[in-house]
Amino acid sequence: MVMVLTWASPALGQDTGTDTATPPPPKIGFVVAGDPDETLRNTAAFIETEATSSGLRVPSDPALRGAMRGDPVTGVDGLENLRAARRGLGLEPRKDLASYKRIGIIAGADALIVVRREGAILLEVFDVSAAQFYEGALEFDTSTSAQRVAFIESRAAQAQLRWSQPPPPPPPAAAQKVNAPEQPADESRAKRRMKKAWPYVVAGVLLAAGVTYLIIDRRRTNEPEPPLLRFRPGEE
């Protein structure tokens, strides 16, 4: 009996597989757009510290994070193409979205936090999967740490969900319009003639009916003079 209990006891501690795995926090990367002066680079690094303190993930490679911020090159690290993509931001706006997406994929990020200067220092969030920016920008100097974290977290969480969404269904095929067969020229000409002549045809039919009525009526009355025409309601 002791041996049976000893053999069966490990099975009691086995995982039943009913627990659902909790997804990891969103992963973000910080990109300095434009001239990476010391103020912008330090600002990006400071906001990165705020984000990681709240539980968000960032790329684990310090050299990769530095290249995205535009830090000076200290040696050969194989990130020349990423630096070239970052330096090209803003030169051709139509290509910027593709460049941001490329940087985000290299970083393995769900979203990119773009730090740029437009008078003031602004923050924007780029969705890597959708290759589009979220609406709204946050000014660094007039925002608090809690506001910045909430601004980033809400958008990064949405970007993370987009990777797991199924692709949109293809648009329905447009129904092909089939042109009605053209009518023969003779038939169309005959119809046009009939449309023009139908009042006369109707008048002729009514006149013939009236004459017939008068003849019949005269035969019944045997009047020597022709009767007067009298139109009755409902009869033409």
pLDDT in tens, 24-69: 999 999 999 999 999 999 999 999 999 999 999 999 999 999 999 9
The pLDDT value given to residue 148: 97
Q: 19: pLDDT confidence band, cut at 50, 70 and 90?
A: low
**Other Cβ atoms closer than 10 A to 207:** 10
pLDDT in tens, 138-170: 999 999 999 999 999 999 999 999 877 766 677
Domain ranges of the chain: 24-164, 185-236
Query: Architecture of domain 24-164 in CATH?
Result: 3-Layer(aba) Sandwich (3.40)
Q: Is 113 exposed, middle or buried (0-12, 13-18, 19+ CB in 10 A)?
A: buried
C-alpha to C-alpha distances, 182 to 125, 176, 178, 185, nearest whole angstrom:
58, 18, 12, 9
Q: How far apart are the first and last CA of the chain?
A: 115
The pLDDT value given to residue 181: 59
48/57 Cα distance (integer angstroms): 9
pLDDT in tens, 66-115: 999 999 998 888 999 999 999 999 887 778 999 999 999 999 999 999 99
Give mean pLDDT, residues 117-130: 95
